[in-house]
Structures are given as C-alpha cells and as structure tokens.
Chains A and B, each alone.
Chain A
C-alpha cells in the first residue's frame, strides 16, 4: 500500500495567516491526490481533486500543488471557518490511502 505522510500533524495559526500543509507519498502517484477538510462531528468535505483542481464552491484562498510524491495544500488569509482537520488521499492505486491528518488550531 502507498503510505501518505502529512506534516505537520497539528499547528496553531491566526486568522489572516498563510498556511501550508505538505503530503508526501511513499511512491509516485502522478497527480492522483485529493485534499479534504473535516470539522468535528462532520463528514470530510472534498476541497481539491487531481492535486490542484479546486472544487466548485470552495473559496479561492485554498490551493493545491504538486505531482509525483510531494504535494502541498495552501490556505491564503486563514479564516475562522478554516480551523479544522485536513487530509490528503491518493487514488493512484488500491487500497486508497489517507494521510494521518493535519489539525489547524486557533493560536
């Protein structure tokens, strides 16, 4: 199985900050990567597909980049509603695997 490793596991930030979360795959996955946001008690929400394609309705302050093994999720000008957990997921091969998650907390 492809291992997905996110960093950091958690961090504190302030509204207005620019934050970057990284996701590394244990082998190349081209751009077969998704990013999800999850708030407490809720199902994950798809933010980005194909490493960099923003889903309809997702604010443009979110962006994704990368290909191969290294990927990033960037949130420009962090808003209060962005404090949540974020997960990457590869769909290059089976089994589908997720990163362990990154929790963005209020400083």
Chain B
C-alpha cells in the first residue's frame, strides 16, 4: 500500500519559486510515474506533470517553461518547483501516483499554496 506525504512552503510572494516535496512510503518507488496536480480554490483539477525513477519527465505544456520535477531515489522522494509564481498559481497542490491500473490511485494530502504580496 503506497502512502504519499507532502510538504513545502504555503505562502509565497509574486515572482518567487514554489517548492514542494512528496515522500513515498510503501510500494516500489521504481514501479511508477510520480505526478503533481493542482486545484485552484473552488475550481477543477489541472495536471502539472510526472516523473519516473530514472528522471524521465512529462510536463503540461501550459506550465512547462516554469516547471521542474525531480526525483531523489535514495530518499524515495520527488519534488516540484514552479518558478515566477503569480496569484494565478494559488492552489492546492497534490502529489499522486498510479495503482494497478493507469489512473491516479494514491494521493497526498494536498498543500495549499497561496501567492500574495
């Protein structure tokens, strides 16, 4: 059973860099792709990107110029960085991964990141 625990700064100023980390407990870290998804307050879900244990990434083109997802296999962790944030980046950010199928079966608890001057 995979469990995801995420952490990171919750309040940023415009132009700063968002940084979140997700720890993976249980399961095989090399077996899956590890995802980041976000949800602005009161709105729907947006897929940000994913990474596997070798560092292969897939990003949403809408954010690609500002996003970097990395992995630390020694710690079973993966991280999200989003540069030059604005108020439009205010959202709950989730880490997530796949189960036995190809859908997102395991989710972190979510981290509210607020961008405000």
Whether A1 pairs with B61 at a CB distance below 8 angstroms is yes
Whether B107 pairs with A44 at a CB distance below 8 angstroms is yes
Q: Does B26 contact A (CB under 8 A)?
A: no
| CB within 8 Å for A43 and B46 given contacts A95-B60, A95-B61 | no
Q: How far is the CB of B8 from chain A (nearest CB, A)?
A: 16
Whether A43 pairs with B94 at a CB distance below 8 angstroms is yes
Q: Does A82 contact B (CB under 8 A)?
A: no
Sorting the interface of chain B by its residue count into under 10, 10 to 19, 20 to 34 or 35 or more gives 20 to 34
| CB within 8 Å for A32 and B44 given contacts A43-B94, A94-B58 | no
Q: Which of B26-56 contact A (CB under 8 A)?
A: 35, 44-47, 49
Q: Does A55 contact B (CB under 8 A)?
A: yes
- Contact stretch, chosen from B13-21, B72-80, B97-105: B97-105
In the complex, 22 of the A-B residue pairs with CB atoms within 8 angstroms, ordered by the A residue number, are A1-B61, A34-B101, A34-B103, A36-B104, A43-B96, A43-B110, A44-B104, A45-B107, A46-B99, A46-B104, A46-B105, A49-B102, A49-B105, A87-B44, A89-B104, A94-B58, A95-B47, A96-B35, A96-B47, A98-B45, A98-B46, A101-B44
